[in-house]
Structure 1
Amino acid sequence: MRRNRLSLFLYAALTLSIAFLPDALTPKPVQSAERIHFTVGPLDLTISVDSLETFVETGEITPELRRYTRYLDDQTLEELQPLLQQSFEVSHVAVAQLAYSPIGETFLQQLGEVIQTQSRQNGFYAIRAALIQAAQDPEGITLINVIRYFPTEGLRINTRQVQELVQEFRVLLEYQDATLRAIEQQAVLEAAEFPTDFTQLPDLTQPGEFAVVRRTETITDGDRPGLNGQFGRVYDTDFYFPQDAPSPAPVIAISHGLGSNREEFAELATHLASYGFAVVVPEHIGSNTQFREDALSGLFYQLLRPEEFIDRPIDITVALDRLERFAQENPDIAGTLDMESVGVIGHSFGGYTALALAGAEINPLRLAIECRDEQINLNISLLLQCLAIELPPASIDLSDPRVRAVIAMSPVPSAILGPEGMEAIDRPTFIIAADNDFVAPAIAEQIYPFTWLTTPERYLAVLSPASHLTVIDSIFLGTTSPLDELLIGPSGGLGSQYTQALSVAFMEFYLNDRADYQPYLSAAYAEFLSQEPLNLSLIRSLTREQLEAAYGDTPPQVVRPLFEEE
């Protein structure tokens, strides 16, 4: 496995255990931290902030700092300095809103067990104050600013917990390597079963034969409350119609992720429509880009309402209802749609949405297990999923009987659905994972959930090296954000090509009953499609026993047992 810069950075940060962890938050007062304290065995050690600042600014490793950097290899040190030099200009209002939100407070409380005050108290309040003040500094949020604004004379690293995190991270990396080997071995076996000459078949990465028309409709759902006291949930939805396509056309709904928007999936929607599908892309107003920006600017208190776990699947169902009425009201569309043959594609939070529409059920017992720990967790997606624990206990059926097949790209189901919720899915399901996804870790959020599926029609694709946004990477080409490599990876647009081709094949086979598209849903096609620098593996079968055999030891506890199993 080729690890990205994030993996190197995290391992180095945890190993140093001397203030590199605050940089994970994305980063001269009257009183500020001048020394960093930590304990090794019986020794109470310290290091000056000046030594760390010298390294960040010049690359020079002082004798004081060298005592600790000697545990890092040259490559890691070379990667560290530019990462730690990065400055982020973010409004202090936005930082405050994030730090005071439920997600932000949960994360800072957990981090405060690692980064403490000098007197060994949880560093929650000090970290929050330092972040907000650093955001007001003309230099922006930097590692050194966050430390300098820490409102005590020193900060203390909880070395015991850091060591536990180091060990956990090391084991997870080793297990991830073994898991990817097991998937590659399974793909080789499956590719040999049905050899196909794909050079003689249509290229699904290219647009289809139909022209596409896009229309935007505003949907008002008066049965649900709107945002900020508005009447009804009002959201725009884009409809993509293929022109002169054979009737009736199956329908595909696309659900964007948290902090995203429908425009980011316009390319995928257009590609699918060019193959004769009608495509519906709603804007999830409670978790889109605009809502995130409004929350950070102070218009809303919460960055995400727990009700979004309910509203998102309903957004899709209501949009499908509106499309059906829209077709009835427009003679040029009437009779051209097959509303009983619907597919759903979702990314990240949208991946959860797709799985819920396919019959997966919210799992209160699993949430209670996965969300009860106060210590910091390396699975960032749990900060999102655990908000669902605030939902009322009444169960709601979010599935839609019109949905016949779903694709979940980098979904986040481990806590919100768990094995029990995933087992309820009885429709063809395709899960796509990225090996270096630090937002929704592949093993916990996609690979294990794939093994929980009981539907016989299941597929797992793994992109490598890839991250959370690789599946839609083409829309980010040319951007220069410092988060590019962490969130997208070096794929250069190949991720979008793979996603588009596999989506066409999957939906043609299961919605149009086109048997001639079945060869594309194979390990052999994934091998044919793969090119540098982005590898694609596709399998249909994987067991926990295979993963354990590849690891050669008892695997780490990725998913914990329910109460009655303890």
Structure 2
Amino acid sequence: MARLRTHLAALGVGLSLALTGGPASALERLVLRLPFLETQVTINLSGGQSAEELIQASPDLQDLQLASGGKLMDFLRQVFLTPLPLETKALLAGSTGQPLLEQALHAATQLVELEDFEPDVSGRMLTDALLRSERRGQPNILGFLRELPGEQASIDLSRLVEVANRLKTNLENGVALANSTEAASVTAGMRVPLRSSWSREVVQVSVPHRPQTLRVLILQPASSANGRLVVISHGLWDDPESFEGWGEVLAAHGYTVLMPDHPGSDFNQQKAMLAGAAPPPGPEELRLRPLDVSALLDGVSTGRLLAGAKLNTNAVAVVGHSWGGTTSLQLAGGVPTDSRLKSRCNDLKHPERNISWVLQCSWLSGINQAAVSDPRVKAVVAVSPPLRLLFDGSRLETLPAKVLLISGTRDWVVPSGPEAIAPMRDNKAAQWGHRLVLVQGADHFSLRSFRDEASPARVAPVILGWINEQLEVDGVITFSKGGWGDEQGSLVDVSDRL
């Protein structure tokens, strides 16, 4: 019963995102199909206003109430009768028709079948149903479901198993590769606490391609500056502070580090979106993010930013996480194409499909304007970037920058199999000087590193080693000589095993 209650809770919330359609009679029944138990559970939604009345109207729930020792009642109250957050209406209204919401709803239709209706992935029907439920005095899941069209919706829980198995498969290759490859050696001095030998400043920079200024976190070495510049690009709905630990290691070794907020897809944008004050990030953000970085390089080279710092802007490094990693690949000369987007985005059962495809597929309409490389970028580190659908790898041999790809073996958001190993293997990237490092046990978010952490960031030494080597800077470590591993032996260069 505990497992069943967990499934029911998740599905109750999931329905609020997945069921859409055209105007019709109110939804009367929700059917949960459990083929692995050779049974199904039918909930009669029109049977009452309270948990007690729902149970009374649904024989299957009566059986579950007895089997649960009376505990089902509280569960139903929590799932169906708890008021929806006040921000829900504003979020849906502000997101209706936006590609990112459409892709999320399209993915949700794999799990939900609304009988006799085609799914409307624009989000309009969701918003309308929520407004009607509020007017009827039922701003909760039960009231919301009753305002959806049709008579019956069904969910086949075996499809959840299929999705889970696909995610598991997409991780298995990375786990096997990491376990069978020797880990990188460790330089003891790279794993001791840092001494604060840099300055920290936040500035606002105007840019020609956005109405907003860019908020930029700057770390500058207090002494022994090497005159080289690194830009760190954050991921979707994140901010520079999540990667300040990376920047601290680089600044401690002489690099000046710029860490911009990308205003169209940062943490503040997420807050505005959830409040209904802004739509989700649109496809144009795929082009604007690299332009943010190039604008900062322009500012440094003209002296508008970091005047008098004597920095080499003709050979810089860009480091990015998640969407920031995609940004770094664009700057390196990667040209996004639409061929895989068009052929795979509608294939909900593609064996490589993963959560990051929701974001990647939302970029389709902006793909033709997203080729925005910058020849000043000579070294790139892309950590967990969504890339499989965007880049075909045809230009690897001519990229002006060498790319280090880093991926965690437990990253279920951007899994290593389809998003790192397959592209590197299929395009024979290693023969052109690009490398792939897997981090055993790391997920999508655990490689981030914040300010003043007790020990240096887990992947900071390998980032430093790669940049030292590509920019030909004398340093404590370089990538090819090793020494960028950790005490746990979790960092593994698998490039030559692909």
TM-score bucket (shorter structure): 0.7 to 0.9
Change (3 A) 1:121 1:364: closer
1:469 counterpart residue number: 445
1:185 counterpart residue number: 180
Q: What's the CA shift for 1:441?
A: 2.3
| 2:494 aligned with 1:536 | no
| 2:91 aligned with 1:115 | no
TM-score by length of 1: 0.68
Helix, strand or coil at the partner of 2:172: helix
1:94 counterpart residue number: 91
1:244 counterpart residue number: 223
Q: What's the CA shift for 1:46?
A: 4.5
| 2:413 aligned with 1:439 | yes
1:216 counterpart residue number: 203
Helix, strand or coil at the partner of 1:342: strand
Q: What's the CA shift for 1:272?
A: 1.9
1:255 counterpart residue number: 233
Q: What's the CA shift for 1:349?
A: 0.7
Aligned-partner residue type, residue 460 of structure 2: Q
Residues 63-114 of structure 1 deviation map (CA, whole Å, 9 limit, x = unaligned): 8569x99xxxxxxxxxx99x98999745121243335432212322442354
CA distance in 1, matches of 2:133, 2:223: 58
On the 8 A contact 1:351/1:409 being kept in 2, the answer is: yes
Helix, strand or coil at the partner of 1:465: coil
Aligned-partner residue type, residue 285 of structure 2: E
Aligned-partner residue type, residue 306 of structure 1: P
Q: What's the CA shift for 1:408?
A: 0.8
Change (3 A) 1:120 1:393: closer
| 2:396 aligned with 1:409 | no
On the 8 A contact 1:95/1:135 being kept in 2, the answer is: no
Q: What's the CA shift for 1:208?
A: 5.3
1:318 counterpart residue number: 295
Aligned-partner residue type, residue 365 of structure 1: S
CA distance in 1, matches of 2:411, 2:234: 17
Unaligned runs of 5+ in 2: 20-24, 46-50, 69-74
Aligned-partner residue type, residue 107 of structure 1: A
Q: What's the CA shift for 1:21?
A: 8.1
On the 8 A contact 1:111/1:123 being kept in 2, the answer is: no
On the 8 A contact 1:404/1:511 being kept in 2, the answer is: yes
Paired-residue identity, %:
19
On the 8 A contact 1:351/1:408 being kept in 2, the answer is: yes
1:480 counterpart residue number: none
Change (3 A) 1:165 1:537: same
CA distance in 1, matches of 2:420, 2:130: 33
On the 8 A contact 1:219/1:322 being kept in 2, the answer is: no
CA distance in 2, matches of 1:112, 1:444: 22
Map 1:52-71 to 2 at 5 A.
Answer: 64=63
Change (3 A) 1:84 1:33: same
Between 128-137 and 459-468, the greater mean CA deviation after superposition: 128-137
CA distance in 2, matches of 1:423, 1:84: 54
CA distance in 2, matches of 1:152, 1:495: 57
Change (3 A) 1:186 1:267: closer
1:547 counterpart residue number: none
Which structure carries more relative contact order (alpha carbon 8 Å, separation 6+)? 2
| 2:17 aligned with 1:22 | no
On the 8 A contact 2:110/2:159 being kept in 1, the answer is: no
1:155 to 144, 153, 156: 153
Helix, strand or coil at the partner of 1:182: helix
1:274 counterpart residue number: 252
Map 1:126-141 to 2 at 5 A.
Answer: none
Change (3 A) 1:348 1:46: same
2:463 counterpart residue number: 503
Q: What's the CA shift for 1:525?
A: 4.8
Between 371-380 and 236-245, the greater mean CA deviation after superposition: 371-380
Residues 336-375 of structure 1 deviation map (CA, whole Å, 9 limit, x = unaligned): x222331111011100011111121111223222334367
Change (3 A) 1:503 1:37: closer
Map 1:4-19 to 2 at 5 A.
Answer: 19=11
CA RMSD, 1 decimal: 4.7
CA distance in 2, matches of 1:294, 1:285: 11
Change (3 A) 1:516 1:324: same
1:75 counterpart residue number: none
CA distance in 2, matches of 1:516, 1:351: 25
Change (3 A) 1:503 1:140: farther
CA distance in 1, matches of 2:447, 2:394: 27
Aligned-partner residue type, residue 379 of structure 1: N
CA distance in 1, matches of 2:145, 2:392: 38
Q: What's the CA shift for 1:279?
A: 0.8
2:392 counterpart residue number: 418
Aligned-partner residue type, residue 216 of structure 1: V
CA distance in 1, matches of 2:250, 2:395: 29
On the 8 A contact 1:34/1:154 being kept in 2, the answer is: yes
2:72 counterpart residue number: none
Residues 232-276 of structure 1 deviation map (CA, whole Å, 9 limit, x = unaligned): x63232332212224x42100011112122333334323321221
Residues 133-169 of structure 1 deviation map (CA, whole Å, 9 limit, x = unaligned): 7899999977x77656655553223x4xx65663454
Helix, strand or coil at the partner of 2:119: coil
CA distance in 1, matches of 2:422, 2:175: 12
| 2:248 aligned with 1:303 | no
Residues 439-462 of structure 1 deviation map (CA, whole Å, 9 limit, x = unaligned): 322222223233332454333333
Q: What's the CA shift for 1:316?
A: 0.6
Aligned-partner residue type, residue 448 of structure 2: I
Map 1:335-484 to 2 at 5 A.
Answer: 335=310, 337-373=311-347, 378-391=353-366, 393=368, 396=371, 398-420=372-394, 425=399, 427-451=401-425, 452=427, 453-454=429-430, 456-472=432-448, 474=450
Aligned length: 469
CA distance in 1, matches of 2:454, 2:440: 11
Residues 415-447 of structure 1 deviation map (CA, whole Å, 9 limit, x = unaligned): 121333656545332222123333322222223
On the 8 A contact 1:471/1:496 being kept in 2, the answer is: no
2:48 counterpart residue number: none
Q: What's the CA shift for 1:319?
A: 0.2
Helix, strand or coil at the partner of 2:180: helix
Q: What's the CA shift for 1:406?
A: 1.1
Residues 490-527 of structure 1 deviation map (CA, whole Å, 9 limit, x = unaligned): xxx799720223323332333353365137864x753x
TM-score by length of 2: 0.76
Change (3 A) 1:130 1:268: farther
CA distance in 1, matches of 2:134, 2:424: 41
Change (3 A) 1:374 1:509: closer
Q: What's the CA shift for 1:414?
A: 0.8
Unaligned runs of 5+ in 1: 1-8, 70-79, 478-492, 545-566
Between 317-326 and 144-153, the greater mean CA deviation after superposition: 144-153
Helix, strand or coil at the partner of 2:420: helix
1:170 counterpart residue number: 165
CA distance in 1, matches of 2:380, 2:91: 36
On the 8 A contact 1:257/1:288 being kept in 2, the answer is: yes
